[in-house]
Amino acid sequence: MRVALIGLPLAGKSTIFNVLTRGQAGTVTGGGRGGQTQIAVVEVPDRRMDALVEMFRPRKISPANVEFVDGVGVAPEGRGHFGAQFLTDVRASDALVHVVRAFENPSVPVERPPDVLRDARELEYELILADLALVETRLERLAQQQKGKPKGSGVPGAVEQEVLERFRAHLERELPAATMELSSQDREAVQHLAFLSAKPTVLVANINEGELGAEDSAPLLALREHGERTGTPVLGMCAEVEMEVAQLPPEEEQSFLEAMSIAESGRYRLIRTVFDLLGLISFFTVGEDEVKAWTIHRGDNAVTAAGKIHSDLARGFIRAEVVPYDALAAAGSVKGARDGGHYRLEQKPYVVQDGDILNIRFSV
């Protein structure tokens, strides 16, 4: 899974990237007028994983990972001129984290006062314009292909053309592709076109330290109203404070958060929100050799989960031994979970639940 961080200059996008990576430098690619892209693989924080490691004391620990990308926001020409690298980073990503400046700091000067709605819409509009250009290009190509052919739904591309005409009108109203109502047939007709403004997105308001815990602050309320219209979740994070948290040893992090009256780190909330947005869950395999978290889509069955581990497990699938994480944690051991009747044998159609511990029985 790849997630791109986007935002206008001085919104705090790169600071959020450093929060997610705990200040560890990522791989740098690109250069020149297109700017550079920094990529880092980030471990998904999961308290269940920590508890399982404590329980099994494995020789190897393999948490789930997310790839985060901090690309260039604006090309060298300045505000409103987004470079090719920006669109490349967005197009190659599964989800977006859109950082919006909602703080005031005299040491971080900007050309105009913060306005979360204006800034959120400005970047969103760039994605809409890129989608509109894509639609126009595709419609021109379809028109060329259909020259001399009778009109009607039986003509190749006719259904796609009709859907794209509706997309064009929708985008021209400055509405993102994500808010377009589509039937299953409509989706099938345009599934080969990766609309940028349809990417699952999390809006992150980079707020002042004094607004931590204030869910009714003006910037957050404004962004949440916008998020409700576009189906976009909104989080409030103070990048400056989160950077302090990220630099602490794990054993000191919780006490610092409690002293700041913060229930959990923004890093944890953001990654979990991205997981939920993409419909992802984790299941675990455990033992003395390794405790490993595996990422699948919500609704995937036991065979799909087995194939995630190894194709042979899916091919020769017999049964899945399943115990819910909560049951194992309450029992304190595998034996306790078995004695308590929490281990089950499930067949191929079983829908894996978030936190399930699996052991696959198979024969090839």
Query: Which one of 164, 197, 230 terminates a domain?
Result: 197
Assess if residue 284 is contained within a domain. Answer: no
* Same domain flag for 79 and 219: yes
Tell me the C-alpha to C-alpha distance, in Å, between residue 56 and each of 49, 294, 301, 333, 346: 11, 17, 26, 9, 24
* Same domain flag for 165 and 212: no
pLDDT tens by residue, 57-103: 999 999 999 999 987 555 444 445 567 778 888 888 999 999 999 88
* Same domain flag for 191 and 204: no
Assess if residue 108 is contained within a domain. Answer: yes
Q: CA-CA distance, 205 to 210, in Å (whole number)?
A: 14
Q: What is the pLDDT of residue 320?
A: 97
Q: Check whether 36 has a pLDDT greater than 90.
A: no
Q: CA-CA distance, 309 to 324, in Å (whole number)?
A: 18
Assess if residue 282 is contained within a domain. Answer: no
pLDDT tens by residue, 264-305: 888 888 998 998 899 999 999 999 999 999 999 999 999 999
- CATH code for the domain of 39: 3.40.50.300
Assess if residue 287 is contained within a domain. Answer: no
pLDDT tens by residue, 218-265: 888 889 988 888 889 999 998 888 888 888 887 788 888 878 777 788
* Same domain flag for 38 and 101: yes
Q: CA-CA distance, 127 to 265, in Å (whole number)?
A: 30
- CATH code for the domain of 348: 3.10.20.30
- In which band, very low, low, confident or very high, does the pLDDT at 107 lie, cut at 50, 70 and 90? low
Q: Check whether 346 has a pLDDT greater than 90.
A: yes
pLDDT tens by residue, 140-158: 999 888 776 666 555 557 8
Assess if residue 254 is contained within a domain. Answer: yes
Q: Which domain holds residue 355?
A: 299-362
* Same domain flag for 233 and 355: no
The residues with which 202 forms a beta bridge, in sequence order, are 97
Query: Which one of 143, 173, 197 terminates a domain?
Result: 197
Mean pLDDT of the chain: 87
- In which band, very low, low, confident or very high, does the pLDDT at 364 lie, cut at 50, 70 and 90? confident
Tell me the C-alpha to C-alpha distance, in Å, between residue 293 and each of 22, 64, 265, 320, 355: 20, 5, 21, 16, 9
